[in-house]
């Protein structure tokens, strides 16, 4: 009897593992990230000239979709990989040929512009985080759609946290077009619009130096995840990186 129960348990476990291995979402394999080889940024080369291609793809606008800001020169922006090269590496490209890694790094489908403070490792920075860890304040539907398209193109995986974050945004999307905020005004005055505001000035309605869940929901930014500009002003009591879920 014991041997039979043990055999049944092993069969059930194997079946469960097989189901997990075959789980897919939007055509993508759902599995934990795996760094099968060491990550080296030099394995993902791209030319600085691709920045001009990004500007051309936005009809000549030097625009940061994540914040809705305009810039008077692309010298004030970074080239931003929507699916970060480090995340792509851990989601399947770690075993890809060098040619595929180079193609990924220069693929306009995955490239946009961002202010250095948004792109790099800072309090507000994306810094290689995936969609479960960081979402832009603006153009979320466009961003999420691009993440999915890029991962489909390069056969990259998603983990369960990404599925939850991406799916939550998708459920409220009417379209996936890139929105140029205040674009008409920018073209009329012919100069950048200073559009950035600190999170407190945008969401702290009672001016107490903190952002509550009530305020976050009122402004449509809940749930707030680690990496979001509002997160550092909120209380994440269970430390799971998500507030007001």
User: What is the per-residue pLDDT for 186?
Assistant: 43
Highest mean predicted confidence (pLDDT) among 61-75, 133-147, 190-204:
133-147
Residue 141 has pLDDT above 60, yes or no: yes
Give pLDDT tens digits for 160-187.
Answer: 999 999 999 999 999 999 998 764 444 4
Range in 6-10, 68-72, 74-78, 134-138 with the lowest mean pLDDT: 6-10
Band of the pLDDT at 232, cuts 50, 70, 90?
confident
User: What is the per-residue pLDDT for 147?
Assistant: 97
Band of the pLDDT at 122, cuts 50, 70, 90?
low
Residue 54 has pLDDT above 80, yes or no: yes
Residue 159 has pLDDT above 90, yes or no: yes
- Mean local confidence (pLDDT), 117-139: 84
- Mean local confidence (pLDDT), 107-134: 86
8 Å CB contact between 115 and 78: yes
- CA distances for 189 relative to 14, 15, 141, 172, 192, angstroms: 64, 63, 28, 33, 8
Q: Which two tokens stand for residue 43?
A: 């394995």
Band of the pLDDT at 96, cuts 50, 70, 90?
very high
Range in 19-28, 106-115, 220-229 with the lowest mean pLDDT: 19-28
Residue 18 has pLDDT above 50, yes or no: no
Return d(Cα 148, Cα 139) in angstroms, integer: 14
User: What is the per-residue pLDDT for 123?
Assistant: 63
Question: What does the longest C-alpha to C-alpha distance in the chain come to?
Answer: 82
Residue 3 has pLDDT above 80, yes or no: no
């Amino acid at each position: 009897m014991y041997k039979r129960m043990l055999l049944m348990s092993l069969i059930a476990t194997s079946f469960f593992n097989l189901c997990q291995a075959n789980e897919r979402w939007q055509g993508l394999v759902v599995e934990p990230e795996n760094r099968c080889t060491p990550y080296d940024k030099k394995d993902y080369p791209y030319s600085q000239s691709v920045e001009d291609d990004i500007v051309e793809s936005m009809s000549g606008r030097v625009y940061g979709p994540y914040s809705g800001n305009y810039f008077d020169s692309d010298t004030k922006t970074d080239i931003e990989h929507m699916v970060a090269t480090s995340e792509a590496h851990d989601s399947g490209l770690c075993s890809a040929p060098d040619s595929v890694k180079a193609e990924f790094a220069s693929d306009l489908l995955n490239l946009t512009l961002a202010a250095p403070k948004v792109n790099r490792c800072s309090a507000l920075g994306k810094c290689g985080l995936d969609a479960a860890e960081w979402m832009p304040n603006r153009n979320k539907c466009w961003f999420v759609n691009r993440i999915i398209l890029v991962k489909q193109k390069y056969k990259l995986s998603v983990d369960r946290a990404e599925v939850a974050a991406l799916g939550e945004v998708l459920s409220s999307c009417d379209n996936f077009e890139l929105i140029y905020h205040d674009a008409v005004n920018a073209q009329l005055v012919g100069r950048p619009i200073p559009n950035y505001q600190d999170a407190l000035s945008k969401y702290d309605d009672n001016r107490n130096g903190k952002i509550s869940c009530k305020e976050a929901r009122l402004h449509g930014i809940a749930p707030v995840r680690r990496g979001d500009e509002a997160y550092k002003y909120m209380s994440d009591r269970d430390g799971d990186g998500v507030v007001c879920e």
